[in-house]
Chain A
Amino acid sequence: MTPWRLALAGAFLLAALAPSAWASATPAGGAGQSIYLRGTLGSGAPLAATRESGGVGIIGADAACVNCHQHSGLGSREGRLSIPPVAAEYLFHSRAQNAGEPVLPYVEGVHGNRDPYTDATLARVIREGVDSEGRPLGFLMPRYALGDEDMAALIAYLKELSQRRVPGVTGTLLDFATIVTPDADPVKSHGMLDVLEHFFAEKNSFPFKPTPQMRTSGRTQYAKSMYMANRHWRLNVWTLTGPAATWGAQLDKRLAAEPVYAVLSGIGGSNWAPVHEFCERNAIPCLWPNVEVPVVAEQDFYPMYFSKGVLLEAQLIARTILGPDNHSAVDAVEQVYRADDSGGAAAQALAAELKGYGVAVHSTVLPRDARADRVTAAVRAAALHKNARGQALVLWLRPGDVASLREVPAGAGTVYLSGLMGGLEKSPLPEAWRERARMTYPFDLPDKRRVRLNYPLGWFTFRHIPLLDEQVQTDTYLACSLLADVLNHMADNFARPYLVEQLQDLLEHRLITGYYPHLTLAARQRFASKGGYLVRFRDTGGTALVAEGEWVVP
Chain B
Amino acid sequence: MIPNSTLRVRTTILDDACRGGVALRLASLAGAALLALVAPCRSAAAADGSPSAAAGGPTTSLRDYTVPSIRLVRDDGKTVSLEDEMNDGRPIVLNFIFTTCGSICPLMSSVFSQFERRLGPDASKVHLMSISIDPEQDTPARLREYARKFHAGREWQHYTGTLAASVAAQRAFDVYRGAKMSHNAVTLLRAAPGKPWMRIEGFVKPEDLVRDYKQQLLAGR
Partners in one complex: yes
Please count how many residues in chain A sit with their CB below 8 Å of the partner chain's CB atoms.
43
Instruction: Let me know if B49 and A141 touch, CB within 8 A.
Output: yes
Complex contact A508–B181 (CB within 8 A): yes
In chain B, what residue has the closest Cβ to A67?
A: B102
For window 73-105 of A, CB contacts with B under 8 Å fall at: 76-84
> Is A56 in the interface zone, CB < 8 Å from B?
yes
In the assembled complex, A210 has its CB within 8 A of some CB on chain B: no
Select the residue from B102, B135, B139, B177 with max chain A CB neighbours within 10 A. B102
Q: Which chain B residues lie closer than 8 Å to A140 at the CB level? A: 47-49, 103-104, 107, 203
Query: Can you list 8 residue pairs at the A/B interface with Cβ under 8 Å?
Result: A67-B103, A68-B103, A133-B51, A136-B54, A139-B205, A140-B48, A522-B100, A550-B162
Establish whether residues B48 and A81, one from each chain, have CB atoms under 8 Å apart when the complex forms: yes
Q: Which residues does chain B contribute within 8 Å of A133, judged by CB atoms?
A: 51
Report yes or no: A111 in contact with B134, Cβ–Cβ below 8 A.
Answer: no
Closest CB in chain B relative to A508 CB, distance in Å: 4
Q: Is A518 at the interface (CB under 8 A from chain B)?
A: yes
A146 adjacent to chain B (CB < 8 Å): no
Interface residue? A356 (CB, 8 A)? no
Residues on A facing B (Cβ under 8 Å): 51, 53, 55-56, 58, 62, 66-68, 76-84, 111, 131, 133, 135-141, 324, 505, 508-509, 518, 520, 522-525, 530-531, 550-551, 553
Q: How far is the CB of B155 from chain A (nearest CB, A)?
A: 19
Would you call B51 and A135 a contact (CB within 8 A)?
Answer: yes
Q: Does B184 contact A (CB under 8 A)?
A: yes
Given contacts A137-B49, A137-B54, A68 and B102 within 8 Å (CB-CB)? yes
Question: Chain A at the B interface: mostly helix, strand, loop or mixed?
Answer: loop
Expressed in whole angstroms, the minimum distance between the Cβ of A511 and any Cβ of chain B is 11
A396 vs B51: C-alpha distance when bound (angstroms): 58
Min C-beta distance of B171 to chain A, whole Å: 16
Residues of A contacting B134 in the complex (Cβ-Cβ under 8 angstroms): 520, 522
B136 at the interface (CB under 8 A from A): yes
B residues 156-181 near A (Cβ < 8 Å) are 162-163, 177-181
B54–A78 contact, CB under 8 A? no
Q: Is the CB of A82 within 8 A of B48?
A: yes
Could you say which residues of chain A place their CB within 8 Å of the CB of B54? 135-139
Which A residues touch B206, using CB under 8 A? 53, 55-56
A523 and B114 in contact (CB under 8 A), knowing A78-B181, A81-B185, A140-B49? Answer: no
Nearest B-chain residue to A62, judged by Cβ = B106
Q: How far is the CA of A522 from the CA of B179 in the complex (A)?
A: 11
Q: Which residue of A lies closest to B102 (CB)?
A: A67
- Contact (Cβ within 8 A) A81 B184: yes
- 6 closest cross-chain pairs (CB), A and B: A79-B184, A135-B51, A508-B179, A53-B205, A80-B46, A522-B100
Q: What B residues does A135 contact at CB under 8 A? A: 51, 54
Write out the residue numbers on chain A whose beta carbons fall within 8 Å of the beta carbon of B178: 508-509
Given A53-B206, A79-B182, verify A138-B49 contact (CB < 8 Å).
yes
Residue of B nearest to A64 (CB): B102
Evaluate contact between B48 and A80: CB separation under 8 angstroms: yes
Chain B: minimal CB distance from A83 (Å): 6
A508 CA / B180 CA spacing, docked (Å): 8
Establish whether residues A509 and B100, one from each chain, have CB atoms under 8 Å apart when the complex forms. no
Beyond the given pairs A82-B50, A553-B135, 13 more chain A to chain B contacts, judged by CB atoms under 8 angstroms and listed by A's residue number, are A56-B107, A68-B49, A78-B181, A80-B48, A81-B103, A82-B48, A83-B103, A135-B54, A136-B54, A138-B49, A508-B181, A520-B180, A530-B137
